[in-house]
Amino acid sequence: MYSQRIPELEPARTYGILGIILEFFGGILNIFINYAGLIAEVLGLILLLNSMNLISNYYDNKKPFKYMLASVISGILIGLIVILVFGISSYAVTTHAGTAPPVSPAYGLLVSLFILLLGVIASIIFEYFAYKSVYELTGVRDFNTAANMLLIGVILTIIIIGILLIFIGIIFVILGFNKLPSDAKPRNPVNPEEGIYDDMNF
């Protein structure tokens, strides 16, 4: 833990906490309330992207931003595909009223949910790398724990324990963001003996 508080990381903390909460609850709404949480999920990813951008700029390392950007892009693309597939299946049902539609509503729903699941997995994998890189830059261990929990949770997502591990990982992400301004190591610490920047860790 570092005694020096870093004001540049205060906005990253706020955006990060809000973003991960919106992303998590948006994903739940997507599954149970006909994709009503899609906007909340995308907004959460955008806030997380902004947080990672601030962290990347402070440490002059674009890894957190790039990985979170990949997570946002994959989330948006999968969301659009889900809407397209569900829309096509719904259109097929309405245009074949009274006759057997070429695509059953149940099949369209199952395909949409499967694609949505793939999108969640892809987003979390990219987030794993993003949080790993944040841990490497900041030294805040909660991000490392969160990344590991998310990855293991994705692997075990077909059983209940996987969802539980993802939830625990999200809690550690929130804890990590909350500690950013006070616990993160400062960028390019100055060597007090030589009076120059010590870049050995980069």
| pLDDT tens-digit series, residues 176-192 | 999 998 899 898 754 44
Given this model, what pLDDT does residue 54 score? 95
Contact by Cβ (8 Å): 172, 140 = no
Question: pLDDT tens track of the chain, all 202 residues?
Answer: 555 788 889 999 999 999 999 888 887 776 676 566 778 877 887 898 999 999 999 999 999 999 999 988 887 787 777 777 767 766 655 665 555 555 556 666 677 677 777 777 887 888 899 999 999 999 999 999 999 999 999 888 777 888 899 889 999 999 999 999 889 989 875 444 444 334 434 3
pLDDT of residue 84: 77
